[in-house]
Amino acid sequence: AQSVTQPDIHITVSEGASLELRCNYSYGATPYLFWYVQSPGQGLQLLLKYFSGDTLVQGIKGFEAEFKRSQSSFNLRKPSVHWSDAAEYFCAVGTDSGGGADGLTFGKGTHLIIQP
């Protein structure tokens, strides 16, 4: 079965500083990888996704992520964070179950705090 690990429960970053959120996955084949962001009390918004091809993926809001197969990682980065980036970030892996369900397995999330 697949799994996702986000080792950092909380991360505090100063506004304007760079950001990297870590994500490691466990899956036997090539995974489908996602990053979602959740503002308090809200649903999830997709930031970016990786299916195949270029391992550096660009997303919305200035985020990017890099798929590294050798490290089983899919870390999320942003060169300069804004106060509005404060939120919960979830990494997820998807699998083709063959039954048409293609549900996602999520990590436990990383809570991003932005210091002024």
Q: Which residues bind another protein (CB under 8 A)?
A: 9, 32, 34, 36, 41-46, 49, 51, 90, 92, 94, 99-109
- Nearest in space to 33 (alpha carbons), one of 76, 82, 63: 76
Chain centroid offset of residue 114 CA: 17
State the nearest-atom distance from the C-beta of 25 to another protein, in Å: 13
State the nearest-atom distance from the C-beta of 66 to another protein, in Å: 19
| Cα 65 from Cα 96, distance rounded (Å) | 22
Q: Which is nearer to another protein, 26 or 42 (CB)?
A: 42
State the nearest-atom distance from the C-beta of 106 to another protein, in Å: 4
Q: Which is nearer to another protein, 81 or 91 (CB)?
A: 91
Q: Which is nearer to another protein, 15 or 49 (CB)?
A: 49
Q: Which is nearer to another protein, 49 or 77 (CB)?
A: 49
